[in-house]
Amino acid sequence: MTPQEIAEVRPRLLDFAADMLGGLPRKDQRAAGELYVRGLLTGGQRKPMQPMAERLGTGHQRLQQFITSSTWDYAAVRRNVARWFAGHQPVEALVIDDTGFPKDGTASPCVARQYSGTLGKTGNCQAGVSVHLVNEHASCAADWRLFCPESRDDAALADPVAAARARRRREQARIPGEVRHTGKWRLALEMLDEMAGPGGWGIVEQVTAAGGARPAVAADAGYGDNTTFRLELEARGWQYALAVRGTTSAYASDAQPVTRSRGGGPGRRPLPACPSPPVSLRRLAIASADTITPVTWRQGTKATRDNPTAAMTSHFLAIRVRPANRDIPRAQDGSLPDCWLLAQWPPAADEPTDYWLSNLPPDTPIAELVRPAKIRWSGRRRSTPLET
């Protein structure tokens, strides 16, 4: 934003900052917080403190101290922001995402050589897991966690030399003792529990009390391919639309388990099981190619001569399948639970390009399956409170 635009919204910004930072104990902290938010909205390089301070006409040490040294409850500020967004915008989905932050050295907390989506490769970086409140037009990064790689957790390393090295780096970076190596999907569950669990932030209750439906959870295949993650979501009552790989194995919905004969010999009677092995989601989707249908899931912003309404449309199919994994509980008759397989199959493609599994109700129209699956990309848009 330009200085003139900042001046125009300054009264709103002051009110917003007062609501979000009102719990900070000291007046100077609240003032520095409002200054920092204003700096983020100005043009130029956003993150480095020194150029931000120059644009604001203040000393960068004031901003640096507020972020790195001043003691304030950042979790309470996150909660305030999330509740503010939920009170001003519909929340259609909770989008889980992770992002890499490239680093040159090794001094930053939890930095290590690991895969970064930002870099598109393995590199020296930090990784953060976030949960976004999302609708068609706006998003809010409501909660996030810094991922601690195993190489930065001395308690997880069997090699004494590697453990000692990790311990030194943790001390230098001042990583709290309770921050340990935890899978990204578990960090995501922790945040969902924080926002909607008993005694949590009450975001979901706030949404449903305002007349909205309970939002679905959306995430990429890094989470959707994890069977335990899907089971944990269901155990918590979450509906989801999770991207998965086409190689994920499943049975067709009409697969019927049978009980094999034990041949009259001793031993336990075999449990019911499907007579044929599972196949890939790709194969199941291709077998249902005759059900492909065009779906428009939202209106975009870039109109063209061929698409004057900027409708975002593609071709999809949706069939019921039974994902196959030894960790999935089976019914008494040996059957696996079924769910939706959604596949995107553009007309120019020889086969589906994207796949999702969803536990939305069996009578859900295909357009309502596509919407939460595709809304994940809205969570990647950078938004600020003043944009809404």
Residue 204 and residue 227 share a domain: no
Are 363 and 294 in a shared domain?
Answer: yes
Cα distance between residue 119 and residue 311, in whole Å: 31
Q: CA torsion 310→311→312→314, rounded to 10°?
A: -130
The pLDDT score that the predictor gives to residue 106 is 86
pLDDT of residue 266: 60
In this predicted structure, what is the pLDDT of residue 386? 29
Q: Are strands 93-102 and 216-219 parallel, antiparallel or unpaired?
A: parallel
Query: Cα–Cα distance between 245 and 231 in angstroms, integer?
Result: 17
Task: Give me 215's structure tokens.
Answer: 């939002």
> Which residue, 89, 139, 140, 136, is CA-closest to 301?
136
Whether 153 is in a domain gets the answer no
pLDDT value of position 388:
24
**Domain hosting residue 120, numbered range:** 91-147+182-214
Residue 173 included in any domain: no
Determine, yes or no, domain membership for 77: no
Are 92 and 215 spatial neighbours (Cβ–Cβ below 8 Å)?
Answer: yes
Can you name the residues that pair with 143 across neighbouring β-strands?
Answer: 131
Q: Do 204 and 228 reside in the same domain of the chain?
A: no
Gap between the Cα atoms of 303 and 182, Å rounded: 44
Q: Considering the domain boundaries, does residue 81 fall inside one? A: no
Q: What is the pLDDT of residue 45?
A: 61
Q: How far apart are CA 70 and CA 228, in angstroms?
A: 39
- Do residue 127 and residue 7 come from a single domain? no
Query: Are residues 58 and 24 part of one domain?
Result: yes
Domain count of the chain?
3
The reported pTM is: 0.86
pLDDT score at 93: 94
Of 36, 53, 68, which residue constitutes the final position of a domain? Answer: 68
- Both 314 and 240 in one domain: the answer is yes
**Same-domain check for residues 131 and 199:** yes
Indicate whether 155 belongs to any domain: no
134 and 251 part of one domain: no
Query: Looking at the structure, do residues 360 and 297 belong to the same domain, yes or no?
Result: yes
Distance CA 280, CA 276 (A): 13
Together in a domain, 232 and 306: yes
Structural domain includes residue 176: no
Residue 157 lies in a domain: no
pLDDT of residue 384: 33
Q: What is the pLDDT along the chain (388 residues), one digit of tens a residue?
A: 777 887 888 888 888 888 888 777 788 888 888 888 888 887 776 567 888 888 888 888 888 888 777 777 888 888 889 999 999 889 999 999 999 999 988 889 999 999 888 888 999 999 999 999 999 888 999 999 999 999 999 999 999 999 999 999 999 998 999 999 999 999 999 999 988 866 778 888 888 888 888 899 999 999 999 999 999 999 999 999 999 999 999 999 998 888 766 655 565 666 677 778 999 999 999 999 999 999 998 877 777 887 887 788 999 999 999 999 989 998 888 889 999 999 999 999 999 999 999 999 999 999 999 999 999 876 554 433 322 2
Neighbours of 373 (CB within 10 A): 27
Report how far apart, in Å, the C-alpha atoms of 89 and of each of 92, 207, 212 are. 9, 9, 10
Could you tell me if 272 and 231 lie in one domain?
Answer: yes
Final residue before a domain boundary, out of 68, 100, 115: 68
The answer to whether position 97 is within a domain reads yes
Residues 195 and 245 both lie in one domain: no
